[in-house]
Structure 1
Amino acid sequence: MSRKAGVANSGETQTKKYKTYRIQKDGQDTFCSLVLSDTMGLECNSNRRIKVYVKDIKRAMKGRVRDGYTFNPESKISKEDRYYNLAPTANDKVHVLVCVVDASTLSQMSPKAIETLQDIREEASDLDIPQVAILTKIDMICPEIKKDLRNVYRSKILKKKMEKFSAEVGIPMNCIFPVKNYHEENNFNSDIDSLILSALKDIIDNLGQSEC
């Protein structure tokens, strides 16, 4: 049985399709039980588009949206759509909701964006789906972290950002995971990998839980 993590991005994104990613086991023709499903990012440019986005996300969490569905900002998925799943199984449903947020633009989140995330979280809670958040680009908000990534848990700037996001959206501090993106590095970095793998481990630990 596979366990699915639904990844909702806060902010503009190039992702327009509901895309599922499977993790292949090293040197094998089999895949890990964890499945990642990416959604279109939250773009609060009109109330109508927000409502459509939220309805599609809610259906995706229930397993009603198939891999490959292209989000339409003007209309939600219909039961007649070939990507609408009329009979979702446990494997189709989302087991953990992951909200990915750019830490460098966190202070620019509009009240409507925050309200929308709260709405999605409430639906996830009603479905007994735990929720976590990943804060990306943390090196761009704090000179100490940029100098040495191992200062991540000593940074007062990052802590305040996490506390503010937690208070506004409702995701507990122990369910918010800071990570640094690969963007200039040419080689793998153990400190970057450590944060990413730590976040992934916590997401896996939350699979199947009723709350976070």
Structure 2
Amino acid sequence: MKASFKEMRQKRQVRDGTVESLTSDLTEEKSKRLRALLGNVELSLLYKASVHGYQASAFHQRCDRQGPTLLVAYNRSGYIFGGYTSVDYAQSGQYITDEDIFVFSFQGKIPICIKINSGNYARVDDAGVPNFGQQLYFCYNNQPVVYNSGGNAFSVNTTTMYGNDTQLSECEVYKVEQSSQVSTEGKPWRNVLWTAERKDELMETIRNHKPVMASVSRVQILMIGPVGAGKSSFFNSINSIFMGRITSKAISGSAGTSLTTQFRTYPVNDGREGKPLPFVLCDTMGLEEQTGAGLDIEDISSILQGHIPDRYKFNPTTPFQPDEQKSSRPASLQEKIHCVVYVIDATKISLMSDKLQEKLASIRRKVNSRGIAQIVLMTKVDEACPLVEENLQSVYVSSYIKSKVQEVSSGLGVPVSCVLPVKNYSQELELELNCDVLLLTALQQMLNFADDYLDDAGQMEDNI
């Protein structure tokens, strides 16, 4: 039976000789959310102000030279907030730069993070109280108080972050370490051949794929997912493989709102002068949890039915309205969607808000009602697991990735066999064999699933 987070923490404290009846105020659920935010990590309680004192000297005695740390503060109004720094405290007197530093505040179940503004120092590494950007000071003046100096290192709203209640009821600091659960299975839980021959075989199979319905020349694959999950990057990655070099045809990147604002249908050619391949990747605006933002769920039905044209500009507040002449004529099977792919960021699975999960569930119901094949593409597996970051071939021996696949399967209600881990090309300048094998394997499965749908659709037509 797996040890609980609390039991693991207590064992670690005994091992480190720090067992002083330290009990974390952080609930299991919130601990899970914060650990997911930081990647595959463990948290060990180093410092608890109510036990060790609110003095800066007590903090430094417990927390100096401990590596990355997470500060969690609690105020009397019930707010839970704090910050993370990857650079350890050492009282060096130096100005510290830390691109990974952030502050956070729980908004319901979800910790909302704010990164440091460009050009600002993380802190001065002195003997003072813990602070973030020389702006937010915790245990200020050696008292149970949080103080905002009004600096501009972080764009924080103190009303949202801690309800403007500066009185702390507790302040805890945790050591952040890579989880010992980043382990390998005895044998791969999926078998993959990581060879150039396998890559060539997959490419040839995809080139020669013929949809089972003669009336369909190319499979239509619809990509749906939250902002920044990697929908556009998946197209760019597949296009890169068949072009033989890194390409960037679809707009991709990281932003708070969707970079894709139009419905785009992306055919892929077999090389620069090659013929079109037998599939089209359809890109949509990213899903957002707020009402009236991101892709409107009502637009999904129009896309599935083949009514929305290429380059249609989405309007989050007004769903697509087909003209009467077109809407009265059912789209051909060629124009409809044959496979839906949900693109989910592996590093954010545990952080998905209830509202976003509800949107995905609503979309799944629409897709299910039409009998369309569905797959989940789990992206950024290298960022989620250090073992995989070191060697992509470890993706199917990593117990952590396996647990994430199971979590996605349970959360979205799809079979485990339909969840496919991949790594898109993002910062690479050259193609990599392991990336190609994972990406092509996923694409091949999409084509197979689309054939299952087309086969059913053909049988239905025969019975009419």
Among 98, 101, 110, the residue aligned to 2:344: 101
Matched, 1:56 2:307: no
The 3 A distance-change label for structure 1 pair 75 and 159 is same
- Please list the CA deviations of residues 138-161 of structure 1 after superposition, one character each: whole Å capped at 9, or x if unmatched: 011111101111100111111111
3-state SS of paired residue (2:268): strand
**Per-residue deviation at 1:98?**
0.5
> What is the TM-score with the length of structure 2 in the denominator?
0.43
Matched, 1:7 2:223: yes
Find the aligned partners of 1:86 and 1:66 in 2 and give their Cα distance.
15
Find the aligned partners of 1:129 and 1:203 in 2 and give their Cα distance.
11
Who is 1:155 aligned against?
A: 398
Matched, 1:187 2:430: yes
CA contact (8 A) 1:166 1:172 kept: yes
CA contact (8 A) 2:374 2:418 kept: yes
Who is 2:439 aligned against?
A: 196
Answer with 75-84 or 64-73: which moved more.
75-84
- Please list the CA deviations of residues 68-92 of structure 1 after superposition, one character each: whole Å capped at 9, or x if unmatched: 1111011001124999795421111
Answer with 85-94 or 60-69: which moved more.
85-94
Matched, 1:78 2:294: no
State the percentage of identical aligned residues.
29
3-state SS of paired residue (2:393): helix
Matched, 1:43 2:43: no
> What is the TM-score with the length of structure 1 in the denominator?
0.90
Find the aligned partners of 1:83 and 1:158 in 2 and give their Cα distance.
45
3-state SS of paired residue (1:207): helix
The 3 A distance-change label for structure 1 pair 83 and 134 is farther
**Per-residue deviation at 1:29?**
5.7
3-state SS of paired residue (1:10): coil
Who is 2:419 aligned against?
A: 176
Find the aligned partners of 1:29 and 1:82 in 2 and give their Cα distance.
37
3-state SS of paired residue (1:18): strand
Give the superposed CA RMSD: 2.3
**Per-residue deviation at 1:16?**
0.8
- Structure 2 regions of 5+ residues with no counterpart? 1-216, 228-256, 457-464
CA contact (8 A) 1:8 1:97 kept: yes
Aligned length: 209
Answer with 114-123 or 128-137: which moved more.
114-123
**Per-residue deviation at 1:183?**
2.4
1:111 alignment partner AA: D
Find the aligned partners of 1:99 and 1:43 in 2 and give their Cα distance.
14
**Per-residue deviation at 1:120?**
1.0
Find the aligned partners of 1:98 and 1:118 in 2 and give their Cα distance.
14
1:7 alignment partner AA: M
- Structure 1 regions of 5+ residues with no counterpart? none
Matched, 1:23 2:268: yes
Mark the structure with the bigger radius of gyration: 2
The 3 A distance-change label for structure 1 pair 144 and 193 is same
Who is 1:126 aligned against?
A: 369
Find the aligned partners of 2:301 and 2:270 in 1 and give their Cα distance.
30
Higher relative contact order (CA 8 A, sep 6+): 1
